[in-house]
Amino acid sequence: MYRIASIRSLVGIHLAALAIALINASLFIFVIGPRVPQDLEVYANTVVLTLGVIWLFFSTSIWLRGDEETKKTAEAIDNNDKKTFLTESSKRLSPAIWMLYFEITLLTLLGFDAFRVTAESSMFAGLINVLISYLIALTFLINYDGDDSLSGIIIVYNLNKIPSDWLKELNKILGK
């Protein structure tokens, strides 16, 4: 049902996630981590876990919605069903939802900086932070890209079978 539009774009999205993770780890190691008082550790950990669950709910919901729309778009192309194609391929999440998801992602990333990692080495704690931050950032970027199954990095496999008049009509609907 899917194919990758370009390897360069896929590498780019991974590099962007890695850059976000390294910036966040720097904040953790040098700014936020050393300033979290040990007596607030229980509260900080509770807040981080709660944010993580909320972020996971949003990420899963957006992922599943995008996946379902992509499958329906691909099926409509295979079945030569213009109406379903125009309906499914024109669906986008509202900017308000993307803003809320971005803010929850940002709070989750920063929340993990307050999470106390008991480790002998701050390097190990930094590595854990980089890995978590990378996965969170990558999930956000892939979800954002997945909102458009025709022009993102991960697209429908049968994109070349779409009649040009369908694309013109879709562009009118989307205001392009």
pLDDT tens-place string over residues 69-99: 999 999 999 999 999 999 999 999 999 999 9
Instruction: Name the residue with tokens 């900086």.
Output: 113
89 CB-contact burial (10 Å; exposed 0-12 / middle 13-18 / buried 19+): buried
Q: Which residue has the higher pLDDT, 90 or 114?
A: 90
Give the pLDDT band (50/70/90) at residue 10.
confident
Residue 25 CB contacts under 8 Å (≥ 6 apart), including other chains: 126, 129, 130, 133
Q: Is the pLDDT of residue 41 over 80?
A: no
Share of the chain above pLDDT 70, in %: 94
138 CB-contact burial (10 Å; exposed 0-12 / middle 13-18 / buried 19+): middle
